[in-house]
Chains A and B, each alone.
Chain A
Amino acid sequence: MRKTLLESLTHGSLTEPAPAPDASALAELAAKVDRAAQARLGRSLAIREVDAGSCNGCELEIHALSNAFYDVERFGLRFVASPRHADVLLVTGPVTRNMRQALERTYNATPDPKWVVAVGGCAIDGGIFRGSYACVGGVSETIPVDLHIKGCPPSPTDLLRGLLALLEHVSAKR
């Protein structure tokens, strides 16, 4: 174990420079985010992930954000265990009817100010599951959404771009 630990200290870092924030995401946010609310947050966001019926592909890539290459915590982005601790809900999936109530309750349990980021093609409009008796459709049909991140699933870089856009926007308006 000692060798592995020492090597981690002496070898260069794997963590890659941050990608530029997504310009279209910034524009989307500029139109939506409430100016007054932003003053209350530092350059730090607590994120609660909610799987509203995804195929679990998006979860895999959201997980990857925490690995040594992307290391989201360096930007002040943290995944938290409860919506009570969260500033941001990161929602995936076509919102199955069986998850709709749980999603609403999670949203209501999140204190203001809060943002909702819909992740992946399903979360935007139901994706390939649209039209099923068991799916509501996009996340915005159930709770208000501030930002969409496209992709099936979006790569960790896509996710990082979107989240950085959110972070930049929040801190720029302080």
Chain B
Amino acid sequence: MGILDSIPHVHAVPSHRPWPRAVVTEAGWQAAIDRLVEGGLTLLGFWGEPTAVHMAMLDGSSAEIAVVTYACPAGTFPSVASRHPPALRLERTIHDLFGLVPDAADDLRPDLRPWLDHDAWGRSYPLSGRNASRDAQPYRFLPAEGEALHQVAVGPVHAGIIEPGHFRFSANGEHVVRLEQWLGYTHKGIESLMQGADLEAAAKLANRTSGDSAVAYAFAFARAAEAALDIQVPRRANYLRALMAELERLANHFGDIGAICNDASFALMHAQTGILRERTLRAADIAFGHRLMMDVVVPGGVARDIAPDGLPALRMLLAEINKVFPRLIELYDNTASLQDRTVTTGVVKADYVRQFGAGGYVGRASGRDFDARRTLAYAPYDHLSFEVPVLDMGDVNARVWIRIREVEQSVELIAQILGLMEPGEIRTAPPAGRGGCEGLALTEAFRGDVLAWLRLDGELRVERCHLRDASWFQWPLLETAIEGNIIADFPLCNKSFNCSYSGADL
């Protein structure tokens, strides 16, 4: 049974690919929320337009996706967040950008505090297309009450070389009673810049939505555009894309494993994984001409083939990783003082990762067996064999181990791809003049699934594009993971999540 069979809808939109999008009335919208609340469906994305809101949902058991759309000409829509908390930040974002108001019964009044809007843009509801202004009030953090509680305010400028965001801790002595995040500091207005951009310019923006996941974003954006235009990508291009995606995963996992250990003051691991990360980026630079491989994945295929000396560089990289990495795993596993910090620290409950549909190592370390590469089996992963590691401890240690196992899988995948790649075309030209069409795609970035949705106009310009980082559904879980832990362990917990600020601030 398809997702839309159980959701009453008015009609399905014909040009939306590869999964259906249906326009629903309030009954259908509430039915969709019912399915999310029951846990039968997982919320994949929730975004706005000036007079409509869209929800993408996943049926994990059938690997099926559907989008429902609620038209709101009067500027209101039935609140999702008041019934399904994972939608909360997305709902506040829709209100900030489009001025649409979520509606709910009085006892379920939706949280309408600003999320991205810090009253600094000089205007309100920038994507609404109208000139409305909002009553600006000082931001109010949620209360934490009790004897001897104190607050610690951190950020937006942090002590390390990291992205800006604000963390408000309420603590009792050392113990964190509540953490509340307030993000949006890196909001660049990517969705507005996308509007009217041609495919090339829009792909550049997608690459720079979260720089550490440039390949994954470019991959998701390209696949959404290709789905909309209904074009096939040459086989070789698919392999090259996956090759870059796995290199990106390697580089980030190496960086993260080291950085997590470094936050437990174990600098040796940081130094060693730093070397592997640098070697990975150098190999990427030789093979694809850019250390972070930005702007190589483009709609229709890839912009350039692998350089002739790229192949030997990648083989040398794999040999080096195979030589050094097992010893580093042993080092991690046998250092009791390090494990003392990571084991049982920052536990994320399995119920929460299911409810929030948390992807990547955050979900997989707490028992959520989902990886877009396998569940949705997009090309070329449908032709590659790999395992998806899943653990259920849900602590910092489990998130380290998921990364370690994924490094091993990525090394295997790269070796497979190098063996399978055959000479051939690397790009399909987009067809000229295909009328308004829509596409949706999910790719697996190193930190979890990236969703890209777009609508193209008749001249292949982006009419509307929404990119959803895995972090949207991971950040809130960090608030739960730190509860009851000590403030001194926050950097460790935070690093084990390594959520994107830029990716979620857009």
Q: Per a CB cutoff under 8 Å, which of A56, A100, A102, A132 touches B193?
A: A132
CB distance A152 to B294 under 8 Å? yes
Question: B25-33, B71-79, B273-281, B349-357: which one contacts chain A?
Answer: B273-281
User: How far, in whole Å, are A8 and B112 apart by their CA atoms in the complex?
Assistant: 55
Q: Does B47 lie at the interface of the complex (its beta carbon under 8 Å from any beta carbon of A)?
A: no
Q: How far is the CB of A109 from chain B (nearest CB, A)?
A: 9
User: How far, in whole Å, are A83 and B334 apart by their CA atoms in the complex?
Assistant: 38
CB distance B188 to A135 under 8 Å? yes
Q: How far is the CB of B412 from chain A (nearest CB, A)?
A: 24
Q: Does B292 lie at the interface of the complex (its beta carbon under 8 Å from any beta carbon of A)?
A: yes
Q: Does B405 lie at the interface of the complex (its beta carbon under 8 Å from any beta carbon of A)?
A: no
With contacts A51-B162, A129-B193, A155-B291 taken as known, whether A134 is within 8 angstroms of B208 at the C-beta atoms is no
Q: How far is the CB of A14 from chain B (nearest CB, A)?
A: 6
CB distance A1 to B291 under 8 Å? no
CB distance A94 to B188 under 8 Å? yes
CB distance A60 to B185 under 8 Å? no
CB distance B189 to A4 under 8 Å? no
CB distance B185 to A98 under 8 Å? yes
CB distance B211 to A100 under 8 Å? no
Q: Does A144 lie at the interface of the complex (its beta carbon under 8 Å from any beta carbon of B)?
A: no
Question: A26-34, A64-72, A163-171: which one contacts chain B?
Answer: A64-72
Residues of B contacting A66 with CB < 8 Å? Answer: 274
CB distance B188 to A134 under 8 Å? yes
Q: Does B341 lie at the interface of the complex (its beta carbon under 8 Å from any beta carbon of A)?
A: no
Q: How far is the CB of B92 from chain A (nearest CB, A)?
A: 15
Residues of A contacting B201 with CB < 8 Å? Answer: 128
Residues of A contacting B51 with CB < 8 Å? Answer: none
CB distance B292 to A79 under 8 Å? no
**0/1 interface trace, chain B 155-199, chain A, CB 8 Å (1 if under):** 011011111100000000000000000001111111011000000
Q: Does B204 lie at the interface of the complex (its beta carbon under 8 Å from any beta carbon of A)?
A: yes
Could you list 22 examples of A-B contacts with CB < 8 Å? A1-B268, A1-B331, A4-B331, A51-B162, A53-B164, A53-B186, A56-B501, A57-B212, A59-B163, A67-B277, A67-B278, A68-B274, A69-B275, A81-B160, A98-B116, A102-B185, A128-B205, A128-B208, A133-B192, A134-B126, A134-B188, A152-B208
Q: Does B271 lie at the interface of the complex (its beta carbon under 8 Å from any beta carbon of A)?
A: yes
Residues of A contacting B327 with CB < 8 Å? Answer: 3-4
Q: How far is the CB of A107 from chain B (nearest CB, A)?
A: 11
Identity of the chain A residue whose Cβ is nearest the Cβ of B118 in the assembled complex = A98
User: How far, in whole Å, are A50 and B156 apart by their CA atoms in the complex?
Assistant: 10
CB distance B186 to A96 under 8 Å? yes
* Residues in chain B within 8 A of chain A (CB atoms): 116, 118, 120-123, 126, 156-157, 159-164, 184-190, 192-193, 201, 204-205, 208-212, 214, 255, 268, 271-272, 274-275, 277-278, 281, 285, 291-292, 294, 327-328, 331, 334-335, 500-502
Identity of the chain B residue whose Cβ is nearest the Cβ of A59 in the assembled complex = B161
Residues of A contacting B285 with CB < 8 Å? Answer: 155
Instruction: Enumerate the 10 nearest inter-chain pairs by beta-carbon distance, A residue then B residue, closest first.
Output: A57-B211, A132-B189, A134-B189, A81-B159, A67-B274, A55-B211, A97-B120, A55-B208, A53-B186, A98-B118
Q: How far is the CB of A22 from chain B (nearest CB, A)?
A: 18
With contacts A57-B211, A61-B291, A128-B193 taken as known, whether A96 is within 8 angstroms of B162 at the C-beta atoms is no
Residues of B contacting A49 with CB < 8 Å? Answer: 161
CB distance B188 to A100 under 8 Å? no
Q: Per a CB cutoff under 8 Å, which of A4, A56, A99, A155 touches B185?
A: A99
CB distance A4 to B272 under 8 Å? yes
Residues of B contacting A57 with CB < 8 Å? Answer: 208, 211-212, 214, 292, 294
CB distance A133 to B281 under 8 Å? no
Residues of A contacting B211 with CB < 8 Å? Answer: 54-60, 153
Q: Per a CB cutoff under 8 Å, which of B192, B212, B255, B500 touches A132?
A: B192
Residues of B contacting A133 with CB < 8 Å? Answer: 121-123, 126, 189, 192
User: How far, in whole Å, are A62 and B210 apart by their CA atoms in the complex?
Assistant: 16
Identity of the chain B residue whose Cβ is nearest the Cβ of A3 in the assembled complex = B327
* Main SS class of interface, A: mixed
User: How far, in whole Å, are A45 and B334 apart by their CA atoms in the complex?
Assistant: 38
With contacts A102-B164, A152-B294 taken as known, whether A54 is within 8 angstroms of B157 at the C-beta atoms is no
CB distance B275 to A98 under 8 Å? no
Q: Does A40 lie at the interface of the complex (its beta carbon under 8 Å from any beta carbon of B)?
A: no
Residues of B contacting A61 with CB < 8 Å? Answer: 291
CB distance A51 to B163 under 8 Å? yes
Residues of A contacting B334 with CB < 8 Å? Answer: 1
CB distance A60 to B212 under 8 Å? yes
Identity of the chain A residue whose Cβ is nearest the Cβ of B205 in the assembled complex = A128
With contacts A1-B334, A4-B272, A55-B502 taken as known, whether A98 is within 8 angstroms of B187 at the C-beta atoms is yes
Contact residues of A between 91 and 125, Cβ < 8 Å to B = 93-94, 96-102, 106
Q: How far is the CB of A5 from chain B (nearest CB, A)?
A: 7
With contacts A81-B159, A97-B120, A102-B157 taken as known, whether A129 is within 8 angstroms of B188 at the C-beta atoms is yes
CB distance A99 to B163 under 8 Å? no
7 new A-B contacts, CB < 8 A, other than A52-B164, A97-B122, are: A50-B157, A59-B162, A64-B274, A79-B161, A128-B201, A129-B189, A155-B285
Q: How far is the CB of A79 from chain B (nearest CB, A)?
A: 6
With contacts A51-B163, A69-B275 taken as known, whether A64 is within 8 angstroms of B281 at the C-beta atoms is yes
CB distance A56 to B277 under 8 Å? no
Residues of A contacting B193 with CB < 8 Å? Answer: 128-129, 131-132
**0/1 interface trace, chain A 81-94, chain B, CB 8 Å (1 if under):** 11100000000011
Q: How far is the CB of A55 from chain B (nearest CB, A)?
A: 4
User: For A63, A132, A134, which residue has the most chain B Cβ atoms within 10 angstroms?
Assistant: A134
Q: How far is the CB of B411 from chain A (nearest CB, A)?
A: 20
Identity of the chain B residue whose Cβ is nearest the Cβ of A106 in the assembled complex = B157
User: How far, in whole Å, are A93 and B458 apart by their CA atoms in the complex?
Assistant: 33
User: How far, in whole Å, are A64 and B280 apart by their CA atoms in the complex?
Assistant: 12
